[in-house]
Structure 1
Amino acid sequence: MIKAYKKLQSCFSLKDEESIFYPNIDKLKQTLTQSEIDKTELVNENERVVEQNLFLLESLEAKTAEISYQKENYTHEVERQRELNNSMRKEKDVSAQSLKVVRKELESVKTEFAKTAQSSNKEIQLVRDELANYVQTAKKELTALEKTKNREIKQLESKLEQKSQVEQILRAELAELRAIKSSKLWKVSSKVEKLSNAVDKHAAKRKKLSQDMSLLYTSDLFDADWYLETYSDVQKDSIDPAEHYLLYGANEGRKPSPYFDGKWYLQANPDVASENANPLIHYIKFGREEKRPMSPVMITHKKK
């Protein structure tokens, strides 16, 4: 057998590894595993292809159903369009007849309008003449009002100048009073005044009254000239207007100026009324800083 094998081996030029008698087992295992992997991949690929085919079939069925639905809608739409065309034709015929009627009516209206236009032109001319007369009279009234307003403005300017002069005088007097208060003589006189106040009870009230009077004269909310012009009885009694307002006017509900309403101020601020304080003095000292309204006119002006 050995000799026969050697003879056979000499006949074939095969290597030992490639011979049938000496097979490579590892390679065989690798080929087997690879073939199994290929088989599984083929099976998976076949499943994917089947799924894709099923999806394509479903989409085709849906598309065919949609196309059939669209065809039905299209046929319905065509029928509806035909019906609309027929109705439009009928309406055109009716509208042509109605247009003829409307044209006849328009012609009759034009003739009536031409007649009324002539009469209305006369009426318009009369209205224009009336308007021209009204404008002329209004211009005359406006010029007269302007003249009166200019006079009032000049009077107010003169009053303001007088008030500014009075303010300057009062400020100078206040400066003198401060200088007097800082002097030794004033200290002595203050001691004497304290003694006299103890004797005379009315001196303190008189001092407070004079202080309040000076406070009123320095305020723009007290108009002495307006007070005397408005309340003629005060002018007849020949009493100082500030003194009269502090002693009697506020209690009687009189106004210190057209810009301040003391009666309304006390009604709007019951805490001030309970203190029995003068409304304008309270407003100058405290109400302005507390932003209290001084009259109903001021509230409406703020709302606007």
Structure 2
Amino acid sequence: MVNNISDIEEDRSVVLRQLYRVQEELEYVYLHGGLGGKGEELDIKISKLKEEKQKVLIQLRYVNYCLALQEKEIKKSRDSVFGKLSNIIFSLNKKSKKRQSAKNKVEEDIKLILLSNYFDDEWYLEQYPDVKASGINPAEHYLQHGSKEGRKPSQLFDGEWYLEAYPDERG
């Protein structure tokens, strides 16, 4: 089998030239065959040309088959590469959007906590020196860890009491 498309196309071109040559010879014999009284000789020549034409047509079909296989492989390879690449990009884009959306949600929640009358960032850092030592924003710490650990956001609010009083608020 032929290795690449350019080889296949070159073979195809050679086979087509052979086919045209055989076809022209056949036409010549048919048009000029009756002249000179060489009937039997012409019949043999016509028969040989028809056989050659049939062989060339078979070669052409094979070359076309090879070309189609090669094109299919290239398409499959291209689809595979582009498909994988586009899937990776789509996946990364989707993950990035999810991360960005989650980040935006966290930022909004932090903003709400900081603007709330029930969160005192200075008091929180005084009460929880580990948070102060970590350098994390106190509202972010409360949102991500402190509320789950039962830490109070300020002197004015007790999250445990609130969740006992309003059990529907527990997630």
- TM-score band by shorter chain is 0.3 to 0.5
Larger RCO of the pair (alpha carbons < 8 Å, separation 6+):
2
TM-score for the superposition, normalised by structure 1: 0.25
